Amino acid sequence: MTGFSRFTPLVRSLPATVPFVGPEAQERATGRLFKARVGANENGFGPAPSVSARIREAAGDAWKYADPENFDLRHALAAHHGLAANQIVVGEGIDSLLGLTVRQVVVEDTPVVTSLGAYPTFNFHVAGFGGKLVTVPYRDDREDLEALAQAAWRENAAIVYLSNPDNPMGSWYVADAVKAFVEALPEDTLLVLDEAYGEMAPAGTLPPADAFVDRPNVIRMRTFSKAYGLAGMRCGYAIGHADTIISFDKVRNHFGMNILAQIAARAALEDRAYLTEVCERISASKERIASIARANGLEPLPSATNFVAIDCGCDGTFATAVLKQLGERGVFVRMPGIAPQNRCIRVSAAPDAEIDIFEETLPAALAAASEH
Amino acid sequence: MTGFSRFTPLVRSLPATVPFVGPEAQERATGRLFKARVGANENGFGPAPSVSARIREAAGDAWKYADPENFDLRHALAAHHGLAANQIVVGEGIDSLLGLTVRQVVVEDTPVVTSLGAYPTFNFHVAGFGGKLVTVPYRDDREDLEALAQAAWRENAAIVYLSNPDNPMGSWYVADAVKAFVEALPEDTLLVLDEAYGEMAPAGTLPPADAFVDRPNVIRMRTFSKAYGLAGMRCGYAIGHADTIISFDKVRNHFGMNILAQIAARAALEDRAYLTEVCERISASKERIASIARANGLEPLPSATNFVAIDCGCDGTFATAVLKQLGERGVFVRMPGIAPQNRCIRVSAAPDAEIDIFEETLPAALAAASEH
């Protein structure tokens, strides 16, 4: 069964796979609700109370289309970052902006480079526009900058994707390494620098906001989904050269932004004290996750994000079993998809009540996984 | 200045134009806020109080990604319409679903048929994927079904777009005429039947929800933006053959939906009493707009939507002047873009306070427009 007869050959050729299965689908399949939602790198500490209050206050605006130019939000972001508003484009989360980026560059067989096991949604978009994905293995649980740059040259890549800090491993490069990487790339390779976790990284990780805005071949992605605690609102933005950024207006869904998302994002940007506080809470939660891992004989990896990759000490089969046993006990976690990173499970920072459940559950999950 | 050097030739060729300029941009340009926002066919009566309450209650969920399968909402819609959930796909408004539909069918020079002066955002998407847009003039201020079907055959069109009820004119066809139109189309032409205003149309306008779900070449679009008063939340859905609908999963932004939009849409669907009530208010408001038009010597056109196209009795130049004069007096309206429909301005139903302003403003706006 193929549906409408004139779907393009490309669309017909695409698999029915999706980037991620949601925890809700797992809950429906098992008939049990998760007790700890620590798998999607959401921020269970939530947005600032000032932000939630603004959402509630603005609920009466739900009948209005949002400003299609995202003017106020772009200008607030520009002021925050010391950029010009025309160096910023707002979209329905980084996922949407990745799709628009790929659409503008990729046609069938366009070479695109990423790390093997990096963000699946980027790969989904590359496949969706018919690109040829070339992957570079991680090295020492980090994306391999040297190999990525080499692949970009070798493959004549139109795009290279880098997540810094990295998801799913939590590893990171300091700003100087990122700058050197940018220098090492061909000028006709677009670097998509995904900094979704940037606000939680150690000082010195993120290059200055204006570091690459003179280069038409660098786009940096940021989001309100992680540190700002607004994953459900769908609001991300991209920073780049004004001439590159303006091109998004040719293809984006101008009336795609939710009005409450715009309002919430502006409020979140204003509450700097809460951001500092929540980053401290996330940091403390990561330390606790790491302690729990060690107490169970597992090795937590260093992380510049809001999650901890935990080395389960064996292979992907074992880590998958651990994940499954955790799931059956009500703990939603995810894990890297590719060896050897798939020896790990990935646990998101969360309020203590959820980490308590993880702590209580992990020993039995490990024991059950070891029995198989 | 062209930005990144490897944007596709298609993207480079696209104009920088956008489908609509928002009222906010006009307000920024003039430095004056509109006093009456009756130009974008929003529903100023707003969503049901029960819906606003649900949005406020759910604000605390903003940290969670929404269910990427939109399971609960699709199932609620299926129950409401007497359909199966796999005959429905949810997206960030009809605009987003139009884009995904076009993307799945249109490559460069794919012929697509629409009415000259119909929905600009559909045309924006067709251009964005390189399609060849073929337009058919309105006849008697209605989309011309016979000519659209003829053009579909003649052009070997991959898509034909029909809005019923029509925007921007408010005209409509009864269900039997739509059914006959479907029968008259080639099986390999996809009918995109935009029923954004359907809930407000007279009984007998909309074919039954399941009328075309056995046909892979018909997709019907619905929205929570109009009658349900949730334009700012961005939630629409498409109804079609299950084999056609499932293809959207290959290309859509799975995590694109705002969680509050999902929740608000479900709540809106449940409050049938409010929908009935608001449709009555919209109807009364349209009658008032029509009376105001007649009192000023203008001719209101019949409307099955939440707006009234008002024939200003002259040509596009005059109607443009009226629109401009209304705008300068704080009344945001829009108008059709193509002759002879552009002899009209288009005024959205709204609470009395806004229609009062329109009523007070129209005589002076007409006088000023006549002077030029």
Residues of chain A contacting B3 with CB distance shorter than 8 Å: 216, 241, 243-247
Burial status of residue B1 (CB atoms within 10 A of its CB: 0-12, 13-18, 19 or more): exposed
Q: Using one digit for the tens of pLDDT, what is the confidence trace for A193-202? A: 999 999 999 9
- Which of A291-299's residues contact partners 24+ apart within 8 Å by CB, and which partners? A292/A355, A292/A358, A292/A359, A292/A362, A293/A362, A296/A362, A296/A363, A296/A366, A298/A366
Judge whether B14 lies within some domain: no
Pairing of strands A36-37, A331-332: parallel
Q: Using one digit for the tens of pLDDT, what is the confidence trace for B153-201? A: 999 999 999 999 999 999 999 999 999 999 999 999 999 999 999 999 9
Asked whether residue A24 falls in the same domain as residue A59, the answer is no
Q: Using one digit for the tens of pLDDT, what is the confidence trace for A123-174? A: 999 999 999 999 999 999 999 999 999 999 999 999 999 999 999 999 999 9
Distance of CA A211 to the CA centre of its chain: 21
User: For residue A192, what are the CA distances in angstroms to A83, A102, A318, A338, B309?
Assistant: 18, 10, 33, 21, 46
Give the total number of structural domains in chain A: 2
Q: Identity (one letter) of the amino acid at B118?
A: A
Asked whether residue B343 falls in the same domain as residue B264, the answer is no
Q: Is the dihedral of CA B361, B364, B368, B370 positive or negative?
A: positive
Q: What is the pLDDT of residue B17?
A: 76
Count other C-beta atoms under 10 Å from residue A324's C-beta: 14
Residues of chain A contacting B60 with CB distance shorter than 8 Å: 46, 52
Q: What is the pLDDT of residue A16?
A: 80
Judge whether B10 lies within some domain: no
By Cβ distance, the residue of A5, A232, A251 closest to B258 is A232
Asked whether A176 and A205 are in contact (CB, 8 A), the reply is: no
By Cβ distance, the residue of B63, B231, B256 closest to A64 is B231
Q: What is the pLDDT of residue A57?
A: 98
What CATH number does residue B148 fall under?
Answer: 3.40.640.10
Q: What is the pLDDT of residue A151?
A: 98
Q: What is the pLDDT of residue A99?
A: 98
Q: Which element (helix H / strand E) includes B192?
A: strand B190-194
Structure tokens at B195: 């029923």
Across the interface, do A256 and B69 touch by the CB < 8 Å criterion?
no
How far is residue A195's CA from residue A164's CA, in Å, rounded to a whole number? Answer: 5
Asked whether residue B125 falls in the same domain as residue B224, the answer is yes
Q: What is the pLDDT of residue B317?
A: 97
CB proximity list for B209: less than 8 A, separation 6 or greater: B81, B82, B83, B239
Q: Using one digit for the tens of pLDDT, what is the confidence trace for A337-346? A: 999 999 999 9
Residues of chain B contacting A8 with CB distance shorter than 8 Å: 104-107
pTM of the model: 0.98
Distance of residue A45 Cα from the nearest chain B Cα, in angstroms: 8
Q: Which residue of A has its CA nearest to B241?
A: A3
CB proximity list for A284: less than 8 A, separation 6 or greater: none
Judge whether A244 lies within some domain: yes
3-state secondary structure of B347: strand
Distance of residue B220 Cα from the nearest chain A Cα, in angstroms: 14
Closest CA to B323 of B71, B26, B99: B26
Asked whether residue B140 falls in the same domain as residue B233, the answer is yes
Distance of residue B103 Cα from the nearest chain A Cα, in angstroms: 9
By Cβ distance, the residue of A45, A233, A253 closest to B95 is A253
CA angle B246, B229, B181 (to 5 degrees): 50
Residues of chain A contacting B19 with CB distance shorter than 8 Å: 254-255
pLDDT-derived band at A283 (thresholds 50, 70, 90) equals very high
What percentage of chain A reaches a pLDDT higher than 70? 100
Across the interface, do A65 and B42 touch by the CB < 8 Å criterion?
yes
SS3 track for chain A: CCCCCCCCHHHHHCCCCCCCCCHHHHHHHHCCCCCEECCCCCCCCCCCHHHHHHHHHHHHHCCCCCCCCCHHHHHHHHHHHCCCHHHEEEECHHHHHHHHHHHHHCCCCCEEEEECCCCHHHHHHHHHCCCEEEEECCECCECCHHHHHHHHHHHCCCEEEEECCCCCCCCCCCHHHHHHHHHHCCCCCEEEEECCCHHHCCCCCCCCCCCCCCCCCEEEEEECCCCCCCHHHCCEEEEECHHHHHHHHHCCCCCCCCHHHHHHHHHHHHCHHHHHHHHHHHHHHHHHHHHHHHHCCCEECCCCCCEEEEECCCCHHHHHHHHHHHHHCCEECECCCCCCHHHEEEEECCCHHHHHHHHHHHHHHHHHHHHC
Asked whether residue A37 falls in the same domain as residue A66, the answer is no
Section A238-246 average pLDDT: 98
Distance of residue A187 Cα from the nearest chain B Cα, in angstroms: 8
Residues of chain B contacting A247 with CB distance shorter than 8 Å: 3-4, 7, 11
Q: Identity (one letter) of the amino acid at B124?
A: F
Across the interface, do B232 and A259 touch by the CB < 8 Å criterion?
yes
Judge whether B8 lies within some domain: no
By Cβ distance, the residue of B43, B60, B242 closest to A46 is B60
Of B220, B243, B270, the one marking the end of a domain is: B270
Q: What is the pLDDT of residue B1?
A: 57
Structure tokens at B49: 């109080």
Q: Identity (one letter) of the amino acid at B74?
A: R
What is the phi/psi pair of residue B188, to 5°?
-100, 25
Q: Using one digit for the tens of pLDDT, what is the confidence trace for B1-60? A: 579 999 999 999 999 878 889 999 999 999 999 999 999 999 999 999 999 999 999 999
Structure tokens at B185: 């189309």
Asked whether B332 and B357 are in contact (CB, 8 A), the reply is: no
Q: Using one digit for the tens of pLDDT, what is the confidence trace for B258-290? A: 999 999 999 999 999 999 999 999 999 999 999
3-state secondary structure of B38: coil
Distance of CA A239 to the CA centre of its chain: 16
Of B212, B236, B270, the one marking the end of a domain is: B270
Q: Which residue of B has its CA nearest to A61?
A: B232
Asked whether residue A115 falls in the same domain as residue A178, the answer is yes
Residues of chain A contacting B126 with CB distance shorter than 8 Å: none
Asked whether residue B244 falls in the same domain as residue B324, the answer is no
What is the phi/psi pair of residue B310, to 5°?
-110, 120
Asked whether residue B195 falls in the same domain as residue B83, the answer is yes
Distance of residue B314 Cα from the nearest chain A Cα, in angstroms: 31
ipTM: 0.97
Asked whether residue B78 falls in the same domain as residue B227, the answer is yes
User: What rounded mean pLDDT belongs to chain A?
Assistant: 97
Residue of B7, B235, B281 to mutate when probing chain A, most A C-beta within 10 A: B7
Which residue is it, tokens 């570091």? A211
What CATH number does residue B30 fall under?
Answer: 3.90.1150.10
Please compute, for residue B371, the number of CA atoms within 13 A of its CA located in the half-sphere on the CB side: 7
Judge whether B6 lies within some domain: no
Residues of chain B contacting A6 with CB distance shorter than 8 Å: 105, 158, 188, 190
Cis amide linkage into residue A340, ω under 30° from 0: yes
How far is residue B19's CA from residue A222's CA, in Å, rounded to a whole number? Answer: 26
Tell me B190's DSSP state: E
Pairing of strands A159-163, A190-194: parallel
Cis amide linkage into residue B168, ω under 30° from 0: yes
Residues of chain A contacting B246 with CB distance shorter than 8 Å: 3, 16
By Cβ distance, the residue of A56, A95, A187 closest to B256 is A95
Structure tokens at A353: 């009540």
How far is residue A323's CA from residue B256's CA, in Å, rounded to a whole number? Answer: 26
For helices A71-81 and A259-270, give the axis angle rounded to 10 degrees.
20
Residues of chain A contacting B95 with CB distance shorter than 8 Å: 253-256
Q: Using one digit for the tens of pLDDT, what is the confidence trace for B144-163? A: 999 999 999 999 999 999 99
Judge whether B3 lies within some domain: no
Structure tokens at A20: 């991620």
Residue of B61, B101, B129, B255 to mutate when probing chain A, most A C-beta within 10 A: B255
Across the interface, do B24 and A69 touch by the CB < 8 Å criterion?
yes
Q: Using one digit for the tens of pLDDT, what is the confidence trace for A60-90? A: 999 999 999 999 999 999 999 999 999 999 9
Q: Using one digit for the tens of pLDDT, what is the confidence trace for B300-338? A: 999 999 999 999 999 999 999 999 999 999 999 999 999
Q: What is the pLDDT of residue B2?
A: 76
| Residues composing chain A | 372
Q: What is the pLDDT of residue A106?
A: 98
Asked whether B71 and A28 are in contact (CB, 8 A), the reply is: yes
Judge whether A5 lies within some domain: no
Across the interface, do B63 and A232 touch by the CB < 8 Å criterion?
yes
Asked whether residue A342 falls in the same domain as residue A203, the answer is no
Domain that holds residue B232: 49-270
Count, in order, helices (H) and strands (E) of chain B.
13, 12
Residues of chain B contacting A122 with CB distance shorter than 8 Å: none
Asked whether residue B319 falls in the same domain as residue B355, the answer is yes
3-state secondary structure of B255: coil
Of B232, B252, B270, the one marking the end of a domain is: B270
Judge whether B223 lies within some domain: yes
Closest CA to B90 of B263, B226, B213: B263
Sheet holding B159-163, edge to edge: B88-91, B236-240, B218-223, B190-194, B159-163, B111-115, B132-136
Residue A1 pLDDT > 70, yes or no? Answer: no
Distance of residue A150 Cα from the nearest chain B Cα, in angstroms: 19
Which residue is it, tokens 């299950």? B242
Q: What is the pLDDT of residue B256?
A: 97
Please compute, for residue A280, the number of CA atoms within 13 A of its CA located in the half-sphere on the CB side: 6
Asked whether residue B342 falls in the same domain as residue B279, the answer is yes
